[in-house]
């Protein structure tokens, strides 16, 4: 069974194996995406969808065309948000993927950690060393 740590540590770079029976609801990882631009829509969302025990439950972006495309890629049965803080308020989300422009990474990372979420953060963490220190502290 794939757990959060394994998924976040490197599962995105591997190919999907054969699918078996559906996992129990308690074994599912519930994922929310903050940022649905090219990186998320072309790579991240399709990669997370490869796993039976991952459910993409929420998408957030301020740019509606990207958000609309992400809904279609994710399968259409997801909640959408224009404000990432509303996504972070959800108690059911286990993992947050942050794929926004670089300058927004650290503030969103800190808030996601404060909300008790595990985080997959796109590179770079930041272009500012002081912000990187804050990210590590989070």
Q: Where are the domains of the chain?
A: 26-137
Return the pLDDT at 38: 94
DSSP state of 44: I
- Asked if 97 and 33 count as a contact pair (C-beta separation under 8 A), the reply is yes
Distance separating alpha carbons of residues 87 and 92, to the nearest angstrom: 10
Query: Is the per-residue pLDDT at 36 higher than 50?
Result: yes
pTM for the full model?
A: 0.81
Partners of 121 in the beta sheet? 98
Query: What is the enclosing helix (H) or strand (E) of 134?
Result: helix 129-137
The hierarchical CATH code for the domain 26-137 is 3.40.50.720
| Residue 11 reports pLDDT greater than 60 | no
Q: What is the pLDDT of residues 86-133, one digit of tens each?
A: 999 999 999 999 999 988 899 999 999 999 999 999 999 988 899 889
How much is the pLDDT for 42? 97
Please determine, for residue 13, whether its predicted confidence score (pLDDT) is greater than 60: no
């Amino acid at each position: 069974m794939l757990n959060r740590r394994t998924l976040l540590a490197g599962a995105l770079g591997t190919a999907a194996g054969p699918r078996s029976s559906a996992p129990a609801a308690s074994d599912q990882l519930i994922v929310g995406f903050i940022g649905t631009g090219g990186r998320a829509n072309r790579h991240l969302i399709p990669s997370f969808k490869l796993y039976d025990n991952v459910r993409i439950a929420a998408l957030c972006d301020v740019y509606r065309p990207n958000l609309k495309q992400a809904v279609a890629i994710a399968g259409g049965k997801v909640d959408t948000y224009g404000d990432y803080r509303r996504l972070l308020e959800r108690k059911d989300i286990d993992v947050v993927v942050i794929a926004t422009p670089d300058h927004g990474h650290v503030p969103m990372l800190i808030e996601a950690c404060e909300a008790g979420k595990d985080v997959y953060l796109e590179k770079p963490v930041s272009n500012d060393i002081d912000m990187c220190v804050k990210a590590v502290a989070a």
